Structure 1
Amino acid sequence: MTVNDPQRSRPTEPLWRAGQVFRLATLVYAVGYQAHAVSEYIRPTLSWVIVALMAVWSGVAAIVLSRDGAARRWWVVADVAVVVGAMAATRLVADQDWYSAHQSLPTTLWATNAVISAAILSGPLVGVLAGLGIAIVAVAVRGTVDVDLAGDATAPVLMSVGLAVGLAANTARRAQGQLERAARLAAATEERERLGREVHDGVLQVLAYVRRRGAEIGGPTLELSTLAGEQEVALRELISEQALPVAGGDVDVDLRTLLRSQAGTAVSVSTPGGAVTMPRDRAEELAAVVRTALSNVALHAGANAKAYVLLEDLGVDVIVSVRDDGVGMAADRLAAAEAEGRMGVSRSILGRVAALGGDATLDTAVGEGVEWEIRVGKRAPGKG
C-alpha cells in the first residue's frame, strides 16, 4: 500500500485538517514577528514580499493538503522546499549580525508545518528526518552552531514534532485497520449464524435423518446413508469456516471451531469451555490430522463405529485424542503397512504431526478400536 493509497490516508484525515489550522495560526505568528523585526532588516521591502509569498503558500497548501488526493506527496515535497527557500532568503533581507543571532525570516514555528506534513504522510522516521534537515538549514543560514539547547532548541523541537506527529499518524492507521478487521469479522460471524440457523432448520436435519435411516435399513441404502453423512459433515464445516477471519497464518484462531466442524452423527467432539487459540496455519494443519484420522475410522472401523474427538488445553501444548469403538487392528499393522509401501497414515498423520514439532501415539488392538493421542505446541518451536 503506497502513501497515496486512499485507504492509507483516510484515517489520518483529521490530522491533515488539524495541521492546516496550525499552519494558519503559525502564519499569524510569522506576520507578527515580521512586523516586529522589519525595522532591523537591510531590505525591509523584500522581507514583506517574502512574507506575502509565505501567506499565499500557506493558504494554497492549507486547501490542497486538507483534501485527500494522490498528489498530496508532491505538495509535501513542495512544502519542505518552500520552507527551505524562505529560510535561506533570510540572508537577503538581513545582515550577518542579525541572522547569526536570530531565528530565520519565516520563524521556526512556521517552518514546523513542513515537518508535520512529512510526518503525517510517511510516519515518524520521515518526520524526524524532515525535522533534522530543516534544523540543519537553520544552522547553515545562521552560519553558527549553538550547542546550548537552552538557548537554541530548534533541532530537538523540530525532530520531536516529527516523531510525535508521525507516531500519531501510524497509530491512526493501525486503529483504522483493526476497526475494519473487526467489522469484517462481525459481519462474517453474523452471516455464519444466519446461515447456520437456516441450514440447521432444513438441510442438516434431512441429511441426518437420511443417514440414520439408511444405516438402519441397510442393504443398498447404506451407500446413500454414507453419502448423506459426508454431505452433512461438509455443510457443518462450511458453516464453521464462516466464523474464521480471512487472515494470514500468524493470526490466531480458535482450534475448537475447526474441530467442531468435523462433528456429525457418527463423530462426537468435546472441547474446553474457553477458546483454544493457535496460529491459523498450525490450527488448520492439526485439524487436517484429525480429519485424516476420522476418515480412517469411516473406512476401516466398521459400518456402525462411532468416533470421539477430545481436545485438551494444557497452556503451552494441546492434546487431541481421536478414539473409535470399531474393529481395531493389530498393534503392528501400521508398521507392516509402511513396509508394504502404503504410506497414507504415516504421511498424513505422523508426518504432519512431526512437521508441527509434536508427537502422535497410536493405541489399538483387534476388537478394541483405535485411539490416536496427538500432542503439539500451540506455537512453533522457538517462537514461544
Structure 2
Amino acid sequence: MGGTARGRHDADPDAPLWRASQVFRLVTLAYAVSSHISTVPHYTRPGLGWFFIALLAAWSVLSAVLLSRGTQRWKVVALDQIVAIALMGATRLVADHDWYSNHQTMPTTLWVANAVLSAAVLGGPVAGTCSALVMATVSAVVRDQINLDLWRDATAPVLVAVGVAMGFATVTARHAHRQLAQAVRMAAAAEERDRLARQVHDGVLQVLALVQRRGNELGGPAAELARLAGEQEAALRMLISEQGTRVDRGEEQVDLRALLRARAGTNVTVAAPADPVLLERGRATELAAAAATALDNTALHAGPGAKAYVLLEDLGDEVILSIRDDGSGIPDGRLAEAEAQGRMGVSKSIVGRAEWLGGVAVLDSAPGEGTEWEIRVPREAPRA
C-alpha cells in the first residue's frame, strides 16, 4: 500500500509546489502571530482579535495538511479565498478607523499571499492574478484606501507578482513532468523492443528460416507451410528494423512512416525517408487510409503473386505517396463502370480523400502493366 500511495503522489507534478507553498504558509503564520502580539495593544477589542488569530492559526494548519495530501484541493483553495477575505474584513471589528486605515490588515499581507499562492498552483497564472487582484481590492476597501494613495501601496504589486510567478512555475512544472513521463515511456518502449529483438533474432527467426528452407525442399503440402513461415519471418524482421521509427504517443502529430510500415509484408514493400515525416494526426490517418485502400485493391484485383511497392517522399511543404504494383493493371473504363454501378471505393477512398486533404490523386494503369497511384497533398491543411 505504501508503494502504491507513493507512486500516486510522485505522479502529481504539482506536489512539490504544494509542499513548498504550505511551508511558506506555516512561516507566514508565525509572522502573523508575532505581528499580532505587537499590534494587539492598539486594538479596541483585543479579545476578539485573539479569537480571529486563533482561527487564522487553525485554518493555516488544517489547510496546509489538506493541500499537502491532495484532498479535494479545489474546495480547500476556494475556502482559502473566503477565509482570507473574511479575516481582512474582521480588522474593522477589532480596531478603529485611525488604526486600520494606516496599517495593514490583521492577517498581514504576507499571510494573505497564501490564498494567492494556492490559486496560482491550482489554476495557473490567470487564477493567481485574479486572486491577487481580489485580495488587493479587499485590502484597500477594508482600510478605506480607495484614493490616490492606493498607487503608493505595495500590496497589489506584491500579490500580483506572487500570483503570476507561482502560476508560471506551475505551468512549467506540469510541462516538465509531461516531458519526463514521455521520456520514461520512450525509454521503456525502446528497452522492451531491444529485448524482444534479441529473443526473436536468437530463436524465432532461425526456426522460421529453417522451416521455410525444409518446406521448400520437401515440396507438396510442406510448401504452403514454407510460404507462411517466410511471411512471418519477413514481418518479424520488419518489426526489428523499425526500432528507430517515431512512436505514436497520442500527440497531435503522427509519424506517417509508422502508419505505412504497418502494412509492410511479404508482398508489400515500404520505402520512406530516414527522418520522421510528421503530419497532423487527422491528415496522417486519412493519407494512410488512402494507401491502405490502394493496397487492398492490389490484393483483390492485381492477380496472384502481385507485389506492391509504397514510396513516401517528404518535400517539406508537400508529401508525395506512391503506391505501385506489378499486377494485371486496370482496363480502360473499368473505374467509370464501377462508379456507375455504385461501387465508389476508388473515387471516395483514394481520390476523395486526396481532394479533402487539399491534394490530388493520379492513377496510371494499363492492362498487363500494373497500377500506380501518386497522391500529392500539402503538409498542412489549406486555409479556408
TM-score (norm 2): 0.82
The answer to whether the Cα contact below 8 Å between 1:229 and 1:264 also exists between their aligned partners in 2 is no
Query: Matched residue of 1:379: which SS?
Result: coil
Are 1:297 and 2:311 an aligned pair? no
Amino acid in the other structure paired with 1:118? A
Map of 2:317 onto structure 1: 316
C-alpha RMSD of matched pairs (Å): 3.5
Identity between Structure 1 and Structure 2 (%): 57
The answer to whether the Cα contact below 8 Å between 1:233 and 1:261 also exists between their aligned partners in 2 is no
Cα drift, residue 190 of structure 1: 3.4
Query: Matched residue of 1:11: which SS?
Result: coil
1:184-333 equivalent positions in 2, closer than 5 A: 184-199=185-200, 244-247=247-250, 251-333=252-334
Question: What per-residue deviation string (whole Å, max 9, x for no partner) do you get for residues 111-154 of structure 1?
Answer: 11122122222333332222222222212211231344552132
Cα drift, residue 313 of structure 1: 0.4
The answer to whether the Cα contact below 8 Å between 1:10 and 1:68 also exists between their aligned partners in 2 is no
Q: 1:73 to 1:273 in 2, by over 3 A?
A: closer
Cα drift, residue 207 of structure 1: 6.5
Corresponding residue to 2:15 among 10, 13, 16: 13
**CA–CA separation in structure 2 for the residues paired with 1:217 and 1:271:** 37
Are 1:55 and 2:57 an aligned pair? yes
Question: What per-residue deviation string (whole Å, max 9, x for no partner) do you get for residues 254-279 of structure 1?
Answer: 11222223233333222112111112
Residue segments in structure 1 that go unaligned for 5+ positions in a row: 1-5
Question: What per-residue deviation string (whole Å, max 9, x for no partner) do you get for residues 222-253 of structure 1?
Answer: 87777667767877888869964352xx6212
Amino acid in the other structure paired with 1:29? Y
Are 1:42 and 2:54 an aligned pair? no
The answer to whether the Cα contact below 8 Å between 1:260 and 1:269 also exists between their aligned partners in 2 is yes
Question: What per-residue deviation string (whole Å, max 9, x for no partner) do you get for residues 323-347 of structure 1?
Answer: 2233323343322332344333223
Map of 2:142 onto structure 1: 141
How many residue pairs get aligned? The number is: 375
Q: 1:71 to 1:273 in 2, by over 3 A?
A: closer
Q: Greater CA deviation, 131-140 or 236-245? A: 236-245
The answer to whether the Cα contact below 8 Å between 2:357 and 2:381 also exists between their aligned partners in 1 is yes
Q: Greater CA deviation, 371-380 or 151-160? A: 151-160
Map of 1:381 onto structure 2: 382
Query: Matched residue of 2:13: which SS?
Result: helix
Query: Matched residue of 2:248: which SS?
Result: coil
Q: 1:300 to 1:172 in 2, by over 3 A?
A: same
The answer to whether the Cα contact below 8 Å between 1:188 and 1:243 also exists between their aligned partners in 2 is no
The answer to whether the Cα contact below 8 Å between 2:359 and 2:377 also exists between their aligned partners in 1 is yes
Q: Greater CA deviation, 290-299 or 48-57? A: 48-57
The answer to whether the Cα contact below 8 Å between 2:235 and 2:264 also exists between their aligned partners in 1 is no
Cα drift, residue 191 of structure 1: 3.0
The answer to whether the Cα contact below 8 Å between 2:310 and 2:321 also exists between their aligned partners in 1 is yes
**CA–CA separation in structure 2 for the residues paired with 1:295 and 1:86:** 72
Query: Matched residue of 1:123: which SS?
Result: helix
The answer to whether the Cα contact below 8 Å between 1:289 and 1:349 also exists between their aligned partners in 2 is yes
Map of 1:3 onto structure 2: none
**CA–CA separation in structure 2 for the residues paired with 1:161 and 1:213:** 75
Q: Greater CA deviation, 268-277 or 188-197? A: 188-197
Residue segments in structure 2 that go unaligned for 5+ positions in a row: 1-7
Question: What per-residue deviation string (whole Å, max 9, x for no partner) do you get for residues 291-339 of structure 1?
Answer: 2222333333343433222111011111011122333233433223323
**CA–CA separation in structure 1 for the residues paired with 2:343 and 2:220:** 30
Q: Greater CA deviation, 171-180 or 312-321? A: 171-180
TM-score (norm 1): 0.82
Map of 1:96 onto structure 2: 97
Cα drift, residue 349 of structure 1: 1.9
Q: 1:10 to 1:340 in 2, by over 3 A?
A: closer
Q: 1:36 to 1:132 in 2, by over 3 A?
A: same
Q: 1:154 to 1:146 in 2, by over 3 A?
A: farther
Cα drift, residue 360 of structure 1: 0.7
Query: Matched residue of 2:14: which SS?
Result: helix
